[in-house]
Amino acid sequence: MEAARGDSGPHIAELIATHVIDVPGFPQDGIVFKDLSPLFADGPAFREVTDAVVDHYGGAFDVVAGIEARGFLLAAAVAYSTGVGVVPVRKAGKLPRQTHSASYALEYGTATLEVQADAFVAGHRVLVIDDVLATGGTAEATLSLVERAGGTLAGFTVLLELEFLGARHRLADRPVHALLTV
């Protein structure tokens, strides 16, 4: 069996790997959903993963943006741990006031994300967090939204990267930090 690997080392990668449940056929046939709910439910494991993200960036960000929905969980924990704010990147129609929006293709359809137009102070360094990096569509849309809303990208972190889908190539000019790569 191959050792778990990720950008924060084999221990964190293995910790996440042991907390992922594959769910075939969700949200549709042909997709294998990577359920990270067991990781979020395990307090010590969730703390260790949060600390790994904080350690990786060493405070080199001013605010954390979490991508709906599971990205909210880790983003809020990282923001709390470092004493910075957290900004939600939501599905279309969920945010009040003026927003920026970006539509994108994902492996089983299309979607639109939004962020409030005044979410970031000009020049603030924004750490973007999501649970899974698959094709890179969600990431690409979110990173462009951060910049359109005035933020400067400090980094992009995911718990799990599905390497075989090639998202790093799609995001080649962006800093990607994946705690587990499969």
Annotated catalytic residue, options 47, 97, 107, 140: 107
Task: Clarify whether 97 is annotated catalytic.
Answer: no
Annotated catalytic residue, options 70, 90, 114, 140: 70
* pTM value > 0.85: yes
The pLDDT tens digits along the chain (182 residues) read 678 999 999 999 999 999 999 999 998 898 899 999 999 999 999 999 999 999 999 999 999 999 999 999 999 999 999 999 999 999 999 999 999 999 998 766 789 999 999 999 998 999 999 999 998 999 999 999 999 999 999 999 999 999 999 999 999 889 999 999 99
Task: Clarify whether 48 is annotated catalytic.
Answer: no
Reported residue count of the chain is 182
